[in-house]
Amino acid sequence: MGFIPINKPILGEEEKKAVLDVVSSGMLVNASYEGGEQVRAFEGKVRNLLGVKHVVAVNSGTAALHTALMAMGVKPGDEVVVPSFTFLATANVVLACGAKPVFVDIKDDYNMDPAAFRKAVTKKTKAVIPVHVYGYPADMDEIREVASAKGVRVVEDAAESLGATYKGTQTGKLSDAGCFSLYATKVITSGEGGAISTDDDELADLLRLVRNHGQVHGYDSRHLGFNYRLPEICAALASVQMDKLDGFLRARERNARRLMELLSGVKEAEFTQDAGDRTHVFYLYTLRLRKNRDKIAKALKEAGVGAGAYWPTPVHKTPLYVKLGYAKKSLPKTEDAAKKVLSLPVYPGLSPDDLQKVGDSFLEAARRYL
């Protein structure tokens, strides 16, 4: 049995055919306000899944977040509340708008603490970006309640959570704008890519403008924008992957339940993302280890199992943010999680034997180090 990576895209003949069809058509990009045929087909599938009025495809999850903030008019002097326990993009897009990220702490489920958000709001707060960490929805009712009382826009960082639900509603439909990633390891992929969902007609128009240098007809820029268009090849790939999403999610769930079974005896490794009112898409299956996380990760790798810490350094402790003066911010739960989390392979392509190997290797490492 070969090395089992932490994550792996599942691509088949349908994806190959979809990509080759675009190559044969010669229509690689349609630089219009509406986007090309493949882009529109992909957007329609995401719209149906989420039950939203608009989906705007872009060329990365980062572009999705940046586009959403630009469309909301986030600018220098504004503050945007974000977690530090996230991928860099969530905070970097705030800097890209010339605004100030205000980091807040998380709960034991790794998602933004709504009480910390409430405390962080000032007159300058323009938006908040809760992240559905590892594909597990954040406390959106509480976050929305604070945001609406304070006049703050909500942008979901749903990069990891396509298909997850909160009280029966899809992530991405729980805020002013939901931002998804189609990066190579995500729940579905187009290599690089992203999408933004919204029910707001005016915002949707601005999102389309930002995606395409502010143009409607060409050379008539009316809003600051960029080239954030999704290429047709990527859209065709993403469209096929959307058809497979249900199957992918069922396999992820089945694999996660099997890992829970295999590891249920290890009390020092806790799974903390479980509430009856939301569904997890298990983009990552993550345990909180009492100690020796890095030794256990190393032992797993030596046994042929790719385990990863997401994220070993909170954003406010990365060199850029240290230089910008954020390092002294006290976020105890964030720092504790960064030291203790470890994700195990849970992707749809794992066989029962693979899962057994992940489980056995973890039990062996736990015996030595936990």
Ligand X SMILES: Cc1ncc(COP(=O)(O)O)c(C=O)c1O
Query: Which spans of this chain sit near ligand X (rule: CB under 6 A)?
Result: 60-62, 86-87, 89-90, 131, 157, 159-160, 181, 183, 194
How many Cα atoms occupy the beta-carbon half-sphere of 123 within 13 Å?
Answer: 0
Q: In degrees rounded to 5, what are phi and psi of residue 170?
A: -65, 140
User: Looking at beta carbons only, is 89 or 234 nearer to ligand X?
Assistant: 89
Min dist. Cβ of residue 310 to ligand X (A): 8
Coil, strand or helix at 58: strand
Query: DSSP readout, 126-137?
Result: EEE--B-GGG--
To ligand X, the closest distance from the beta carbon of 62 in angstroms equals 3
Beta bridge pairs of residue 191: 183
Give the nearer residue to ligand X in terms of CB position, either 155 or 366. Answer: 155
| Closest separation in Å from C-beta 158 to ligand X | 8
**Closest separation between CB of residue 99 and ligand X, Å?**
17
Task: Please confirm whether the linkage preceding 311 is cis (ω < 30° from 0).
Answer: yes
Q: In the complex, what is the shortest distance from the CB of residue 313 to ligand X, in angstroms, rounded to a whole number?
A: 14
Minimum CB separation of residue 335 from ligand X in Å reads 18
Complex with ligand X: residue 86 or 361, whichever CB lies closer: 86
Backbone angles phi, psi at 283, to 5 degrees: -60, -40
Question: Considering the complex, what minimum distance in angstroms separates the CB of residue 323 from ligand X?
Answer: 21
User: Please, which residue, 184 or 363, has the CB nearer to ligand X?
Assistant: 184
> Among candidates 227, 235, 229, which has minimal Cα distance to 188?
235
270 has which bridge partners?
288
Residue 62 three-state SS: helix
**Residues 252, 235: contact at Cβ < 8 Å?**
no
Closer residue to ligand X in complex, CB, 284/355: 284
- Report which DSSP code applies to 30: -
Phi, psi of 112 (to 5 degrees): -50, 135
Q: Which residue's CB comes closest to ligand X?
A: 61
Cβ–Cβ under 8 Å, residues 73 and 155: no
Q: Which is nearer to ligand X, 134 or 326 (CB)?
A: 134
3-state secondary structure of 123: coil
Please identify, using beta-carbon distances, which residue of 307 and 315 lies nearer to ligand X.
315
Do residues 49 and 239 make contact, with C-beta atoms less than 8 angstroms apart? no
CB of 300 to ligand X, least distance (A): 21
Nearer to ligand X, 126 or 186 (CB): 186
Q: Could you tell me the CA-to-CA distances from 348 to 40, 287, 307 in Å, in that order?
A: 27, 19, 16
